[in-house]
Amino acid sequence: MKILIIGSMAFVKDMVKVRAELNILGHDASVPVGTEPHLTNERFVDILKDNLMFCIENDIMRKNFEEVARHEAVLVLNHKRNKLDGYIGISALMEMAIAHFLKKKIFLYYPHPDYNKVRWAHEVAIMQPIIIHGDLTKIK
């Protein structure tokens, strides 16, 4: 299956690791446009102004929406972040919405947070993602 791995750029090293694992399992896995520069320039993760300029200059949002369209599925790496289990950033949520609109499969690495913790958990649930509980072999 052709899978795009999405999530917070704070999880960039995990994205690359999961891409390798999915490829070993026989999938054609990719990471978002702009991921590689985040591996070599940690300022992009910590300095939002640098990240913003990079994204604007390279039209990253549009390119990543196009990537969602080219793939059969998205896998959301929603690790713990900011004391929240199942964190999904706004960009990943938008990419999930594009995937849902285009009738792509949506996989969540872990369950989304409780509805009482974050308002957007309701929107995620509406998209009916397949939760794999950290087990990549569940992606069929």
Q: One digit per residue, pLDDT tens: the chain, 140 residues?
A: 999 999 987 888 899 999 999 999 999 999 998 777 767 766 665 666 777 788 888 898 999 999 999 999 999 999 999 889 999 999 999 999 999 999 999 999 999 988 888 989 999 999 999 999 999 999 98
Per residue in 31-44, pLDDT tens? Answer: 998 777 767 766 66
Q: Which sequence spans correspond to the domains of the chain?
A: 2-138
pLDDT at 12: 84
Q: How far apart are CA 51 and CA 45, in angstroms?
A: 7
Q: What is the pTM of this model?
A: 0.90
Q: CATH assignment of 2-138?
A: 3.40.50
